[in-house]
Amino acid sequence: MASLVTVVLALVLAVAVGIGGKAPAPSASPPAASFPSAPAGKTVDVSTIPSLLETLADDSVGQIVVADGTYPVSPASLRRADSLWIGSAFAARSNPVLVRAATMGGVTFDGGGSAPFGCISFEDGAHDQTWSGFDCADGEADSTGVVTFGGYPGLAAPYAITLDHVTILASCTGNATSASAPTTDHAVYISEAVGGPHDLTFTGLTVDGRGGLASAFHFNHSDAADQNGWDVHINGLTVTGTQQAIILWDPTIHDVTVDGATITGALRYAVRYEAGTNILLVDVTSSASGAGGFYSTLGSDPPGVTFSHDSLD
């Protein structure tokens, strides 16, 4: 009997792993997103927008933890007590700061249907900030971005800003409800400022553009005194249903890297390029684009753009 049990066990093991093979490793779920490490300084917990802004101006604070919940916010450009206008009031900081949700994705900034809706605007010299784990919801971009960098000629550029695992929800709306609709309303809008917004990093950004957003990223507008973005790194981008996902449209753009992007269901193009230098697209994958994965009037392989391991359909 003992020998029979031994034989049966051996057969079961052989079937499970294959003769001469190894037992398959259990499938692993992708690791959950984690917050970046907090800089030096004290940690302060907040539960209102005014207290968040007041704490952000305190240079001794290295980490601000926002209690989970939904926070009504006025459009950033109105600069009200509940507006996330991150401008000159924070430019005097000399130490970096992490602003994060208590749990990843646990905080929603809600525009209450406002138009134009600016969820967060980084302007006028704001610098060395990381914002992590937030959602933006319920507002119409209306000729701007849900999140903006620059766009106000004469103001100093924001720089050294990181958005980490920020989500733009489908309730952030725009007018780009068809391939031919105006391309005016965007998730992230990078525009003109003195010196150009620079050293910007976006990690794990998710954009659901099915409410009519024209793009996930739009780089546009500059003049002799006010430049557009440079030294911009976009890593691990996920975009669904925008008219276009990435639009590069300004001659002062330079050193922009998109490293890892999944773009699904763009109504027109996944990536549109017309101007800029040293643009690097790495592991960018698009599918079900209405008119093509990549387009430029300069051709399919324009100067200024380098492609690496991309699949643009």
Chain centroid to CA 78: 23
pLDDT of residue 32: 79
pLDDT of residue 197: 98
* Token digits of residue 106: 């646990």
* Token digits of residue 162: 């990181």
Closest to 84 measured CA to CA, from 96, 92, 76 = 76
**Separation of alpha carbons 153 and 175, rounded Å:** 25
pLDDT of residue 286: 98
What's at 31, amino acid-wise?
Answer: P
Q: Which run of H or of E encompasses 25?
A: none
88 contacts: CB under 8 Å, gap ≥ 6: 123, 124, 125, 126, 155, 156
**Separation of alpha carbons 112 and 217, rounded Å:** 23
Which domains are seen in the chain, by residue range? 43-312 (2.160.20.10)
Residue ranges, the chain, pLDDT below 50 = 1-27
Chain centroid to CA 192: 19
Closest to 168 measured CA to CA, from 183, 184, 147 = 147
Closest to 174 measured CA to CA, from 221, 115, 94 = 115
57 contacts: CB under 8 Å, gap ≥ 6: 89, 90, 93
Does the pTM surpass 0.85? The reply is yes
Residue 100 φ then ψ, to 5°: -140, 155
Q: If you average pLDDT over every residue of the chain, what do you get?
A: 92
Tracing tokens 């009504």 back to the chain, one arrives at: 72
For the CA atoms of 10, 12, 14, 18, the dihedral, rounded to the nearest 10 degrees, stands at: -170
**Separation of alpha carbons 155 and 253, rounded Å:** 18
